[in-house]
Structure 1
Amino acid sequence: MAFGGSSFYKGSDLIHDYSCSKCEENDLNTEAQHFCPECEHYLCDKCVRIHGEYFKKHVVYGRGDIQKWTGFSMDRCDQHGNKLEVHCDDHQELCCHVCVSLNHRFCSSISHLPELARGFLEKAEFKQLPEAVDKMRSRLDELKNAKMKDQASLKDSYKNILAEIKALRKEFNQILDELEKKTVEQLDSMKKDLEKSLKDDIEKCTHMNELLKTMIDKFRQITGKNKETNCYVGHRKCKTKLTEAQNLLHEIQEKPVETLCFKYDSSIMPFLRNLNMFGATERVISKAKRLDSGYVYKGQGSKKFSVRIKKDKNTCSIEGICELPSGDLVIADSNNRRLKLLDMKYKVTAHLDCPASPEHLCHTTGSEVAVVTYEDKTYIVYFLTVTRGQLHLSRKFTTDHDCTSIAYHEGLLYVGSDSALYQYTMDGLMGKVIYEERGVAKCAVSPDGERFYITTLYGSKLITLDKNGQVLSKLRDPELKTPRGVCVSPSGHVFVCGYMSDTVVQVDREGRQKLATVATEADDLACPQSVWFSEQTSSLIVGNDDDSIVVIKLC
């Protein structure tokens, strides 16, 4: 690595960890020795002198303070600080020239950002980003406030227990001094641990909230001749950060709420001299429901969208729906043996013809989707990826049984057949039989992997299993005739559609009772057989058996 600010033409193979921003504008590749946080510019020794003449009050950090160089910039690489120039389609990453040289030299598809950003300002996903960020910030505020209430409750419980300990102490003689000391020490230690956990959650929420605010503020301030490209880059970064924020929400919400409880030993007086402490201070899980867990949704209006294309010869039958991190949808049209890609306006933008009829699908990771197919006693699980707006088959494995449904959780696939629910690895190795039941239609798994939900063609019931395959409940309801599609939201809410009743109902997490009928035939449901909850739009997407999907806004 060269130091001192030597300049080379931009085409030089010399790689710097940080390159001078001003030299880059003149197609020079010069190593930066300084950083101005106000200008967000990396500067070489020559350019920093010119910068100092114009911006005398700006504080500039040298290599000795390189830890202060990092910060958020819309058009800069977070890792190397260089201007973002291309997008690696293989890894779905924004890259500077250093990223390409170090990590993406052997990738098959690299796209220039101006090309990808062309027309981006008119797309719905660009226009909807501020609203999505505002919604996420609002949810972070709600979670932060809930945790602050837990923090206050923890302090109150601590004070109450301490007062109880002091009241007991008055009834004892001096021999109890040491016992009191040990008990309070235990309480203080446990309180400290719990406070640290709550403090960490609050700080994480605050940090993420502030970061999202900074990002969206800078996003809204983007101007200049490169506005379109910078907006595209900013959008990609904001979407990535929104995903991180969603993961943070899920992580914190899944934690049980713990408080303190002191259990008084009623036999303390007779055995006083033989005890080491007054009693045991314990952590207890609050019975209060976590944020979001008690929501019962209500439909707030619906809209029907056609998913038929010119090549379709048969009526579209939508057997499966899943959403990608980009907000696009992939649907399985079994009657026409096609997988279709829908944009955020629910318009078919691409399709892929399948060798066999796709019966169901699920999102795995990134832009990958797993699809189960069935044709002439050949049962295949296909994997496809979405790259540059197109669907591509990537790999497959076969099974020894028919395939009617598929779900994914933490590196494992759960494949339903007409007689059982099986566990598979991503490489196609069968792990075990989770549950056996005649007529399994569709399956879904809870976000924590603790529960499975399966619908059956016989008996019109929803079966809920624990992670070991033990039956927790079997639900039948008059408004849920011939249940087919089932999905679980990231917060754990369960939705099931009734094929013969033209309904979508929400059930509780244990699958024991119906909480609400979210949609009916009046919402244009026509033999619904698949359902998906979109966290990004707070909507249900329902696949009909009549060339359409129905989008139901929830509140």
Structure 2
Amino acid sequence: MAEIGAVYYGGKGQNVKNICSSDAVPGRIEQKLCQPCLSKDIQTEADVFCSTCDEFQCTECSNVHNTHAFLRNHKLVNVKEVKPKLVSFDMKGLDQCDQHQKVLEFFCEDENQLCCSTCAIVDHRKCNSVVEIQKIAGRYASASYQLKVKLQEVTEKGEKVVQCTKLSKEQLDQDVKEIPLTIRRMRDNVMKMFDDLEVSVPKDAESFKTETLDKLTRKQSNSEKLAAEATKSLETIDNVYQNGTPSQQFILEHRMKKQVDELSSNVDKECQRLETVTVSFNFDETLKLPPLPISDYVPGQLTLAYSVSEAVKPVAPVDPIFKLTKITSIDLKQAGDDMEEPLYTGLDFLSDGRLVAVDRFNMKCLIYNEKLEKVGSYQLSYRPQSVVAVSEEEVAITSDDRHFVVGTIDDTTPVRIVSQSGEEKDFRVDFPDKKYPIATSACTYIRNSDKVVLTDRYEHTVYIYDIRTDTRIVVKDDKIKQPGGVTVGPSNSILVCSIETDSIVQISQTGRVLSSYKLDMRFPRYVLVSRDKSIVTNACLGENRLQTFKITY
């Protein structure tokens, strides 16, 4: 089994290369951006911090302190001398363990649970990966947006329920009061009804007959014309095919096609509206009965019903559609010690924002900073296929004969899990009995909803498998042609490379295509998301590129 697209499912794996430590790789610093520039949607590294303005500034923006006299007493400090502020916030018990009333300090990645010190020792001592929260807090994508969306939905639905129940109570009281009045009105109107019946019903029936006869006459006339035109056209066709030249026959076919289609469409419409019209008047059977005691016969019916108002029907949640704005782009060229032109087949973000990539053709692992400046390069002894950042200092690199998690090549089980001990186990999903050769499929795992996403390049299809229910959604769309790399984006939507259309496509977990972003690179193959940023690379010899994008809603 060999890996196609690695997904970090839990644990550090066995094939971990400790190549990203502070001593081994230069360039890992916390970058602070100029806040005035950010307000203009420009990313510039800050050089100083103004404690009076309480903001980081670049050299150009900080020069305003020398221009205006009232700003000259502001204290400017070199950004490297600024120490991070620790802000105390009352969590009102949310940071306390429900069972032991201790502060939650640990997180069990195996069971996806928060732990206090007692939980970690008693309940999770056999788990493979229990880590300190403060060390991994920056690694996970923020879920605040999803939480706020759900809470907003709860608030709106709660308010709708309150409003609906108030209206229902008022309506119920009014309906009960109306019943006696309805009966009295009926008693007064029954006698008048029969007086009016003899006059109104025949009059209405006559009007209906006149109106209907007009419609039927027009329908008959239209159909006769259509039939006559069709007969005439048939005669013309027979004439030309018996006496005309091949050129005349060819011209006739093309000239008649539109006319025949129109005739066919019109006659189909008439056929769909065929009706048989009748007129009758019959009394309700109950009115033919002799008078009976009210206990035996009630000339009416009390209806008790529940209905759902349009205003309070549940509304399907709206998936946020985001845009990609290019930040940086570099061309991947053959370096002096490279054997071939680079081909990046694996990407991942480290927790401090740096990018780790593996070059399959030149057997290298490379590190880039946020400006896509190369800050580290490591020669490997094998051809790598993919890479996963396990922690700030460790990555796992997979190759054709070394694997960590998930994708397979030429195997009927395209996605698997590998434990820390090296044992393999399958997802409980009924995958199709199909083998995917290398570069024909990719996969990712959505942890929050326990779903596996699999692409089939030459079927132009994206599959979304629900592990909990063993069901799948099949996504086919004109925007998705030769799907390649796939990853989990903001709000747990799915981003997939559409190789043939040179674009990135956003898909919801329900399989709805939300948006498509056209790239200025050919054949995009691999895509990755980290917080509000995305990285894309392609596989086009002579035009290889690596690009970063800002994600906005």
Q: TM range, normalised to the smaller chain?
A: 0.3 to 0.5
TM-score between both structures, scaled by the size of structure 1: 0.45
TM-score between both structures, scaled by the size of structure 2: 0.46
Q: Which has the higher strand share?
A: 1
